[in-house]
Structure 1
Amino acid sequence: MSKSENSADLKIASIQMVSTPDVQENLATASRLITAAAADGARMAVLPEYFCIMGLKDTDKVSARESIGSGPIQEQLSHITKTNNIYLVAGTIPLAAKDPNKVLNTTLVFDPAGQQIARYDKIHLFGFQTATERYQESETIEAGNEPGLLKISVNGNEWVFGLSICYDLRFPELYRVLGQVDCHIIPAAFTYTTGKDHWEILLRARAIENQGYVLASAQGGKHQNQRRTWGNSMLIDPWGEVLANLPEGEGFVSGVLCKDKLNEVRSKLPALAHRKL
C-alpha cells in the first residue's frame, strides 16, 4: 500500500485533455491517462468537462447523448474504473434531456466496482455575446437544478466532495449551499480569454472561502473546432496554495488530500464557524 492508503490522506489526480470530435478517440485517451494516474497511486481521478466530445458544432453533443445507466460511453467508463480499481469523476457526458434537441451536461461518478454512485447536472449555463462572437450553452443544454455531493469511505475515512462544473465556479452561493466539504471537484472547459484573467483567482477564492481543497480538471489546448481552452488543471489546498498545475496539453497532475491540513486551517482561522448568513 502507498503512504496515502495508510493514513487519513487520499491521493487524487486531475486529468487534462484536448478533446476531439471523435468519442472513441477521446475515451481511449481518457483510459490511458486514468491508467497512468492509477499506476502513480491515485485513488480517485477526475476528467474534464466535455472529455468525451468536443464537437465541430455545438449540436454534435446532442447526437452523442445517452440515457442514464446505458450507452457505450457509460459502459466504457465503468470498465475503466473496474480495470484500474479507482474512483472516477467522469468529467461531463451528454445525457438525454426532456427537450429532444438538448442534453444535460452531467458529471457521473463511478466507484472501483464500476457502479455509478453520484450524479450532478450542470446548473449554470455559460453564454456571451460580442460584436464578433456569440456562444450560448442554453441552446443545446438543459440546466440542472440540484446541487451535487459525493461521499466515499476509503480506509475507514469518510471524504465529502462538492460537485460543480466550469461556469458554476462564478457563483459562490452554490458552494455555500453545498456546505462544508473536504474538496470541491470542478471539471471545466474554460475559454482561453476568460481563463487567463479569472481561472486561478476564482479557484483559489473558492478554496480559501470554503476552507477546503479544490481540484479542477480542464480542457487545455487548441481543438479541431478552433476553440482554444485555457488548461491549467490544478489542485489547491485549503489555504489557497496551488499544489500542482498543468498549464497546457494532455496529461495529469496529482496530490494528496490531507485531513490534518483541513483541520489545521479550520482551527487557526475558524471562518466557517463565524458565518452569520
Structure 2
Amino acid sequence: MTRIALYQANTGVDPHKNARDIEQAVAMAAAEGAAMLFTPEMSGMLDGNRDRAAANIRREEDDVTLAAARAAAARHGIWVHLGSLALDRGDGRWANRAFVIDGEGEVRGRYDKMHLFDVDLPTGESWRESAVYAGGDGPVIVRGTPAGDLGLTICYDLRFPALFAALAEAGADAIAIPAAFTVPTGKAHWHVMQRARAIEAGLFVVSAAQDGRHEDGRETFGHSLVIDPWGEVLLDMGEGKGLGFAEIDLGRIREVRGRVPALDHRRKIGPVSD
C-alpha cells in the first residue's frame, strides 16, 4: 500500500503566495506519511485576466512555483506531481505544463496539455485556451513513481478516452488528472467521467482539483478524487481548500484486469462502413 496526498487549492493571482502554499502542502503531506503529493491544474497562478497574468508568466527555469516545489520535495523527501503551471514557451505562446518531481527535487517528467478548452457555456462563461496556449505533442508516462508508472493528463483531456487508452496500453498504473473544472461542467460530468476513465483503463485515477471562488472571479468545482480500477471512489474531498489522503494498492490493477480483461480484448478499429 502506498499513501498519497492530494492538495485541493484555491489558487489566486499572486505566484509568490501560491508557491508558499505549495511549500506548506508538501511539508504537511510528508508529515502525514505520504510518499507523493498531487496538486491541481494551474497551481502557480489562476488568473483569467490575460494582460495581468502575462506580467507573471515566466520560462520554466525562472518559475517561482516550480522552484519552490522542487526545493520542498528535496527538503522533505517526497515526490510531487505539480498539476500544471502556465509557462512561457519562448515562441510567443504559453504552455499549460505538468511536472513530476522526485524526492531529491529532480524533474522526472513533463507534459503539456494536449486538448485545449475552447467553449461557450450556457451560463455565459467563455473560455479560449487556444488564444494564448499551445497544445502538447503527445502522451507522457513517468516510470517508477510511488504511485507506479504514472500517466499525465490535464483537466479537459478527461473528455478524450483515446488518450487514456493509449496510456493504459503503454503500461500506466495510475493517471493524474489535475483540474480547474468549472462548476456547471463539474456538476454534470466530473464524477461520471472520472469513474469511466478508471474503469475503461483498469487503473487508478488521481485528480487534484481547484475549488471555490477565486481572485479572478471564476468558480471551480473541487471534489478532488482518487478512484480505483474497479471504479470505486477511495477519496472525494468535496468542497474546501486542504489536503486529502488515500491508500493505493497497485496489486488491485492485476486483480481487476483479471476479472475484466478489456485491455487484452481491445481491437484496432478500422474505417466505418456505410
Q: What is the TM-score when the length of structure 1 is the normalising length?
A: 0.91
- Of 75, 88, 102, 1:111 maps to 102
Bigger CA drift: 73-82 or 168-177? 73-82
Q: How does 1:254-265 map to 2 (within 5 A)?
A: 254-265=245-256
Counterpart amino acid of 1:19? Answer: T
Give how far 1:126 is off: 0.4
Which segment is superposed worse, 30-39 or 60-69?
A: 60-69
Q: Which amino acid aligns with 2:96?
A: N
Change (3 A) 1:230 1:175: same
- Tell me which residue corresponds to 2:271: none
The one-letter code sitting in structure 1 at the alignment partner of 2:149 is V
Picking from 185, 190, 199, the partner of 1:199 is 190
Partner of residue 143, structure 2: 151
Amino acid at match of 2:253: L
Question: Larger deviation: 65-74 or 29-38?
Answer: 65-74
1:34 shift after superposition: 1.9
Amino acid corresponding to residue 265 of structure 2 in structure 1: H
Query: Which amino acid counterpart does residue 172 of structure 1 have in structure 2?
Result: P
CA contact (8 A) 1:123 1:144 kept: yes
In structure 2, C-alpha distance between the alignment counterparts of 1:60 and 1:169, rounded to whole Å? 28
**Residue in structure 2 matching 1:13, options 5, 14, 19:** 5
Cα distance change on mapping 1:219 and 1:54 into 2, 3 Å: same
Within 2, Cα distance between the matches of 1:239 and 1:57? 40
SS in 2 for 1:64: coil
Name which of 4, 7, 20 aligns with 1:28: 20
2:131 is the alignment partner of 1:121: no
Instruction: Give the C-alpha shift of residue 59 in structure 1.
Output: 4.1
Aligned-pair identity (%): 34
Q: In the alignment, is the contact (CA less than 8 A) between 2:27 and 2:76 conserved in 1?
A: yes
SS of the aligned residue for 1:229 comes to: strand
Residue matched to 1:165:
154
Contact 1:81 1:110 in 2 (8 A): yes
Equivalent AA in structure 2 for residue 216 of structure 1: S
Q: Which runs of 5+ in 2 are unaligned?
A: 269-274
Which of 68, 71, 82 pairs up with 1:79?
Answer: 71
Q: For 1:241, give the aligned amino acid.
A: E
Instruction: Give the conservation status (yes or no) of the 8 Å contact 2:16–2:64.
Output: no
CA deviation profile, 1:20-61 (whole Å, cap 9, x unmatched): 111111111122122111111111111101111112513444
Q: 8 Å contact 2:210–2:221 — kept in the other structure?
A: yes
1:98 Cα deviation after fit: 4.7
Contact 1:62-1:103 within 8 A present in 2 as well: no
| Amino acid aligned to 1:176 | A
Structure 2 counterpart of 1:140, one-letter code: V
Residue 264 (structure 1) shift: 0.8
**1:198-277 maps to which residues of 2 (within 5 A)?**
198-277=189-268
* Range that drifts further, 230-239 or 126-135: 126-135
Instruction: Give the AA of the match of 2:129.
Output: E
